[in-house]
Amino acid sequence: MDLKLKIWRQASRDAKGKFVDYEIHNISSDASFLEMMDLLNEDLVEKGGKPVAFDHDCREGICGMCSLFINGRPHGPDTAVTTCQLHMRKFKDGDTIVIEPWRAKPFPVIKDLIVDRSAFDELIQTGGFISASTSGVPDANAIPIRREKAELAMDAAACIGCGACVAACKNASAMLFVSAKVSQFALLPQGKIEAKDRVQKMVAKMDELGFGNCTNTYACEAECPKEISVVNIARMNRQFFGAKVS
C-alpha cells in the first residue's frame, strides 16, 4: 500500500515544531506500524535526510515506550494494543496518517515523537515501598488472600505506564495510572501498612507535576492498551478520602 504521512518534527525541547509531509510506498499490510516507521527512516537516511526520532524497546506490548498519537488516538486505530502491536492492515491504501507525540504539559517533547515521561517515574517513587519481612521465605499460604482480590491486584499491576491515559484525557489527567499503582498494593495485605501515606503522597505529587483532574469521560479506559478499569480511580478516591478523615 502507498501512504501519505504527516509527522510532527521538533529538533529539541525548546525548538518550534511543525508537521512535515512524507510519502511511503509498497508497505505490506502485514507490517507493523513501527516497521513502517523503520522503512521511512531508512529511505530518509538514504536520501541524506534526518530520521524521525521515536521511542521503542520491546516491540511486544510490554514496556509502553512506543507512545504515538496516531490519527487522533493514542496508539492508533485499534483497541487494547500498543503502537508496536498495531499493524498496517488497520489502514487503507492511499490513507493519510497523522503521527504526533503525546500532548501533555508533564510530558514535554524531547525530539520529534519522543516525550519525557519521567513524571511517571516521580509518581512511582513517591509511592514508596511496602513493608515486608526479609527473613526466611514464608510458606505460600502463610498470608491467605482471596482470589478476587489477588486478580484485581494483578489487573491493576498490568499497567505499563505508557501514558495513553494522559494523552487521551482532555485534562491530561494521570488518575488512571496513579490509581492502578495505588490499587495494586492497596488490595493486598502487604501494601496496607503504607496505604494511607502512599495515596496522599501520590495524589499530591500528581497535582504538583501539573497533571489535570479527572472528569469521568472514561477516555482513559477506552484507550488503555492494557484495559485498566476506571474502577481503580473510584478505589483510589475512597482510599484518599479515608486517609484524610482518619
Residues 101 and 145 grouped into a single domain: no
pTM for the structure as a whole: 0.92
Residues 125 and 234 grouped into a single domain: yes
Reference 75, options 177, 179, 168; nearest CA is 168
Residues 162 and 230 grouped into a single domain: yes
**Tens-digit pLDDT profile for residues 182-229:** 999 999 888 888 999 999 999 999 999 999 999 899 999 999 999 999
Domain CATH code at residue 125: 1.10.1060.10
Residues 49 and 70 grouped into a single domain: yes
Residues 106 and 123 grouped into a single domain: no
Of 235 and 145, the structure prediction assigns the larger pLDDT to: 235
Q: Which residue has the cell 505460600?
A: 140
End position of a domain, from candidates 77, 92, 110: 110
Residues 101 and 205 grouped into a single domain: no
Residue 114: pLDDT over 80: yes
Domain CATH code at residue 16: 3.10.20.30
End position of a domain, from candidates 110, 130, 165: 110
**Tens-digit pLDDT profile for residues 44-75:** 999 999 999 999 999 999 999 999 999 999 99
Domain hosting residue 203, numbered range? 118-245
Residues 235 and 153 grouped into a single domain: yes
What pLDDT score was predicted for residue 246? 78
Residues 105 and 219 grouped into a single domain: no
User: Rounded CA gap, 12 and 151, in Å?
Assistant: 42
DSSP string, 81-128: --GGG-BGGGS-TT-EEEEE----TTS-EEETTEE--HHHHHHHHHH-
Domain count, the chain: 2
Residues 221 and 155 grouped into a single domain: yes
Residue 137: pLDDT over 90: no
